[in-house]
Amino acid sequence: MSHADNPDILKRLRRAEGHLSTVVRMVVEGRDGMVIAQQMQAVIKALEKAKQMLIIDHIDHHLGEVTGPLPPEVQQKIAEFREITKYL
């Protein structure tokens, strides 16, 4: 299974990559620690969101392999489960 075809995951990873590049540049430039820490937090959040999206994508893929097409009421329940994952 490849997640390379999920543009949202790639977008999140590229966002994290951009934030991390900024952190490296800021450290090299000797910028203020508080500002660097804030940028590092942006890296962490971007990676956490990418991880969440990857896991949901993975579950959806394998669930679909096992069950095939799901009825709308089951799809709605799964959407509710996905919604709560933002609190993980």
Q: What tens digit of pLDDT does each residue of 27-58 get?
A: 999 999 999 999 999 999 999 989 988 888 88
* Listed ranges 2-11, 15-24, 54-63, 64-73; the one with the highest mean pLDDT: 15-24
Give the 3-state secondary structure of 4-15: CCCHHHHHHHHH
Q: What percent of the chain has pLDDT over 70?
A: 95
Domain boundaries, the chain: 7-87
Whole-number Å distance between alpha carbons of 77 and 88: 18
7-87 domain in CATH 1.10.10.10? no
Residue 2 is predicted with a pLDDT of 62
Global pTM reads 0.74
